[in-house]
Structure 1
């Protein structure tokens, strides 16, 4: 059994990455409210595709 599992509703995959929940909530329905969520490899790929614009704008704000 993996130490951490994916926080997306209906998924029991092994955690691959941890991401901010505010961005993950835009793409997925999550099991519970947290500040950071664990995503499996498949959901992380989808998260990257769906939030690409938001993440680019976030990086521009710091410049």
Structure 2
């Protein structure tokens, strides 16, 4: 099993798993799964670019 980032043209080791729905808004992905693996660098970028949307999602659960 590959332990690499699911972002196109990235070969770094995976670090975190995130929902593919949000990750697709930020990156081009290698897979069509519901969850994707990101390396440390892409995870940091993902957090910055989806911060508002993730805050809204968390507020809906309260």
Query: Please, what TM-score do these two structures have when normalized by structure 2?
Result: 0.95
Q: Is 1:53 equivalent to 2:52 in the alignment?
A: yes
Q: Give me the CA root mean square deviation.
A: 0.7
Runs of 4+ in 1 over 2 A off after TM superposition: none
Separation (CA, whole Å) in 2 of partners of 1:9 and 1:31:
5
Q: Normalising to structure 1: TM-score of the pair?
A: 0.94
How many residues align? The count is 61
More helix by share: 1
1:8-36 per-residue CA deviation (whole Å, 9 max, x = no partner) reads: 00000000000000000000000110110
Q: Distance in 2 between matches of 1:60 and 1:6?
A: 29
Gaps of 5+ in 2: none
Pair 1:62 & 2:31 matched: no
